[in-house]
Structure 1
Amino acid sequence: MKATQTKLEGCFILEPTVFEDERGYFFESYNEVKIEQILGYKPTFVQDNQSNSAYGVVRGLHMQTGEYAQAKLVRVVEGTVIDVAVDVRHNSPTYGQSITVELSADNKRQLFIPRGFLHGFSVISEKATFFYKCDNVYNKASEDGVYPLDETLNIDWLVPKEKMIISEKDQEAQSFEMFTNK
């Protein structure tokens, strides 16, 4: 497994070693020992989530706060997405900065997103199945988020605005300025 540290400390792009032959392919999608070597600690994943979405869907930007904060290991098992992580850790030198990574069934990349990040993705293929591990359980009272099209963040979701499908909840999410000033 190849690990690449992104510009956001603790956020890694993981690329598996893929073995292909006439039968298809095989790769190790998760190895606790290797993840611990990469991260410098052993995350305990307690919840797996999966979603399926059509082209143009933008999900996010979401996070869990407080004792229910979550680190995530995300990947795509069908289709292609643009995955986004925004650093919102207080006192971080990259506070408010984001990264975008193309994750697809073809490239088999994963993104590890530590606690203290907003997260979201957009679907740029006909459809996509998105899978992720979380190191903490979901708690509705601990939800937080930011409007995905916030101009301050200036995220390129690679979907024309008129073709975006955004939930009512995400359309009504707070601005990044409101999030920062609370």
Structure 2
Amino acid sequence: MREMGIEGAWVMEPQVFQDNRGSFHEWFRAPELQAAAGYGFGLAQANCSVSARGTLRGVHFADVPPGQAKYVTCVRGAVLDVIVDLRTGSPTYRTWEAVRLDDRDHRAVHLAEGLGHAFMALTDDATVVYLCSRGYAPAHEHGVHPLDPDLAIDWPAGLTPVLSEKDATAPTLAEAERAGLLPSYQTCARWYAGLRADATGETGAPPRIPATRR
């Protein structure tokens, strides 16, 4: 698991076993994630999203606390997955990183609480599945417009973005900041520290077990 340039964001690149029957890979390994983040991932909800080519979802984030960490992969087709640092006061505030998620390389990304998430479907029927550390809580969930020039996300050329009404009317980053909607880096840092402190009573992550064919 590799940490990205934004604190709290990681990429997992699994070993994929292929033969004449098909392929096998492990797309989520709790011990590796715990070793990287310093605390475990408490699974509360699993979502599946199917999108037509050009569909743009996000940028979504949740209040911290409690926040909502996500672990995301694409099981059919391909998407450009984008993580945005929306934590005011963060050294990388307003920056973003993109990772192609597809059904060939089977990469996955993990983003900690307080980070924004968005993706654009590069193929029809692009199917994204993601694990969430907290369940859906509408009162605590927000969005920033994914086409905000201040974010300047480099979405794929040649695709016309298709947005939901909710995403199309989301505030800009500046508007969200003025409204006090964005999480603060200091608050998020305290939240992460609390999660790590809660994990110190554990005996440690289980030993790494090499992936095997199945």
Aligned partners of 1:68 and 1:138 also within 8 Å:
no
Partner residue in 2 for 1:44: 42
**How far apart in 1 are the matches of 2:161 and 2:85?**
24
Question: What runs of 5+ residues in structure 2 fail to find an aligned partner?
Answer: 180-214
**How far apart in 2 are the matches of 1:100 and 1:29?**
19
Whose strand proportion is higher, 1 or 2? 1
Partner residue in 1 for 2:32: 34
How do 1:5-16 residues align onto structure 2 when only pairs under 5 Å count?
A: 5-16=3-14
**How far apart in 1 are the matches of 2:5 and 2:26?**
25
Shift of 1:30: 1.6
1:180 correspondence with 2:177: yes
**How far apart in 2 are the matches of 1:159 and 1:128?**
18
1:137 correspondence with 2:141: no
**How far apart in 2 are the matches of 1:180 and 1:129?**
32
Runs of 4+ with >4 A deviation: none
Aligned partners of 1:82 and 1:101 also within 8 Å:
yes
How do 1:27-176 residues align onto structure 2 when only pairs under 5 Å count?
A: 27-160=25-158, 163-176=160-173
Aligned partners of 1:59 and 1:166 also within 8 Å:
yes
User: What is the one-letter code of the residue matched to 2:34?
Assistant: E
Shift of 1:9: 0.9
Aligned partners of 1:46 and 1:134 also within 8 Å:
yes
TM-score (norm 2): 0.80
Aligned length: 179
What is the root-mean-square deviation in Å for CA atoms of aligned residues? Answer: 1.3
Instruction: Describe the shift of the 1:66–1:6 C-alpha distance in structure 2 as closer, same or farther (beyond 3 A).
Output: closer
Shift of 1:159: 4.7
Aligned partners of 2:64 and 2:113 also within 8 Å:
no
**How far apart in 2 are the matches of 1:103 and 1:65?**
26
User: What is the one-letter code of the residue matched to 1:106?
Assistant: R
Structure 1 SS opposite 2:46 = strand
- The sequence identity of aligned pairs, in percent, is 36
Question: What runs of 5+ residues in structure 1 fail to find an aligned partner?
Answer: none
TM-score (norm 1): 0.94
Aligned partners of 1:83 and 1:120 also within 8 Å:
yes
User: What is the one-letter code of the residue matched to 1:178?
Assistant: E
